[in-house]
Amino acid sequence: MYFRTEGIVLSQKNFAEADKLLTIYTKNSGKISCLAKGARRPLSKKAGHIELGNLCSIFVAKGKNIDLLTEVDVKVAFGQQDFSLEKANKIYHLLEVVDHLTPTHQKNPEIFQLLANFLKSTSQNDDFNLISSIFKIKLLSLLGYFSATNLKESPTKTILQKLEKEDLKSLTASINLSTGNYLKLLSFLDSMIENLTERKLTTKKFVYGQN
């Protein structure tokens, strides 16, 4: 059995002598794992297409023990234009958050689109504190882990409701938190994610300088 879909590469690990084991968040099948045979060989045609954060068109063969990535074509290489290590770390952080929070094989096109939209924003926008805050709140909300409506009435609740419901463009114009308040909010959100998943977010120290 085969299937074709679009997906964003969340993580990759070396496997056997020349392969890579990929985790991909797909539009039609949610999060999947698949093996890219020969991807570590110098002349591999797959290698350049499966970089972290790439939005790809993929063709996958269902296997008995593991699925095989048979075809891949990169559509958008987020962060490759005007590339910097700082920008790459921000992109890797969003990928790690999605990888940790989402279950496998549960279709959720809204999460796929959210990730694609915010990877694009990260590659084009310098206000990562705002981007990261909105992304995490919206992702937690889509997964049913967060709702600002359930909080006690306060100025903080009003801000969180805006971050949860409004789009990035309108929030960029209307939200103006201090760096200190952003870091408090992000620390709260990261702690929530780590408690839910029982896993540390290893990339946050490269983005925020936090352990």
- pLDDT tens figures, 52-82: 999 999 999 998 889 999 999 999 998 665 6
Domain finish residue from 77, 93, 118: 77
* CA dist., res. 88 & res. 85, Å (int): 5
Do 145 and 169 belong together in one domain?
A: yes
| pLDDT tens digits along 11-22 | 999 999 999 999
- At residue 26, the pLDDT reads 98
CB 35 within 8 A of CB 68: yes
Amino acid in position 45: K
Would the pLDDT of 134 be above 80? yes
What was the pLDDT predicted at 81?
Answer: 59
Round to whole Å and give the CA distance between 136 and 41: 36
Whether residues 144 and 178 share a domain: the answer is yes
30: CATH: 2.40.50.140
Quick one: 211 exposed, middle or buried, by C-beta within 10 A (0-12, 13-18, 19+)? exposed
Same structural domain, 69 and 109: no
Same domain membership, residue 96 and residue 60: no
Give residue-wise pLDDT tens across range 155-171.
Answer: 888 899 999 999 998 99
Q: What is the Cα–Cα distance from 60 to 50, expressed in whole angstroms?
A: 14
* Predicted confidence (pLDDT) per residue in 92-130, tens digit: 999 999 999 999 999 999 999 999 999 999 988 879 999
pLDDT digits (tens, 9 = 90+) for 187-211: 999 999 999 999 999 999 999 876 5
- The CA distance from 32 to 26, in Å, is 7
Return the SS3 of 6.
strand
> 151 and 110, same structural domain?
yes
- Give the residue, 83 or 179, on which the prediction is more confident: 179
Domain assignment of residue 63, given as a range? 2-77
Instruction: Count up the domains in the chain and report the number.
Output: 2
Q: What is the pTM of this model?
A: 0.94
* Burial zone of 72 (CB within 10 Å; 0-12 exposed, 13-18 middle, 19+ buried): buried
